[in-house]
Amino acid sequence: MSYWDTSTLGKLYFPEADSPAFALKAASATLIVTAKLALLEMRRVAFRKESDGLIPANTAETVLSQVDQDIAAGEIRVVEMDSQVEAEFNAIMARCYREAPPIPIRTFDALHLATARVAGATELVAADKRMRDAAKLLGFDLFPP
């Protein structure tokens, strides 16, 4: 099972140069797993892209509605933050910062990885270097390779 962070999930809804590769990955997946946090971050992404003129004016809600429809259709599974995610988050922070040299993981990245572990994901779909470095340490397979 693959866990998608916000940036890669966003590539499915807001076209970027590398979006086709992620669309192919999504098409071959039986299920995309992400965190509730990603949906909140997607809201910021949508309105930022709209305000920057990267998507047409007054279309952020339409894109976000499509995300909601994909969740309702069972194409995306959203994992809520709970005590298991919090415990994994704590363990990930300790592990990353106790590495030599430390992996300077950010809070939201560690929350994504904690959610992925709780969901049972074995692969992380992410582009962020720090998150990918931490994911390697934690034993995740990575896409893109």
How confident is the model at residue 118, as a pLDDT? Answer: 98
61 is written with which tokens? 């809600």
Q: What long-range pairs does 121-124 form, CB within 8 A, spacing at least 24? A: 121/1, 121/2, 121/3, 121/33, 122/1, 122/2, 123/1, 123/2, 123/3, 124/2, 124/3, 124/5
Q: Which fold has domain 2-143?
A: Rossmann fold (3.40.50)
pLDDT in tens, 40-92: 999 999 999 999 999 999 999 999 999 999 999 999 999 999 999 999 999 99
Average pLDDT, the chain: 95
Measured over the CA atoms of residue 112, residue 35, residue 107 and residue 127, the dihedral's sign is positive
> Which residue shows structure tokens 């007054």?
58
Q: Where are the domains of the chain?
A: 2-143
Reduced 3-state DSSP string for 71-113: HHCCCEEEECCCHHHHHHHHHHHHHHHHCCCCCCCCHHHHHHH
Q: What is the DSSP letter of 35?
A: E
Global confidence as pTM: 0.92
pLDDT digits (tens, 9 = 90+) for 110-140: 999 999 999 999 999 999 999 999 999 999 9
Q: What is the pLDDT of residues 13-28, one digit of tens each?
A: 998 999 999 999 999 9
pLDDT confidence band for 30 (50 / 70 / 90): confident
pLDDT, average across residues 103-114? 97
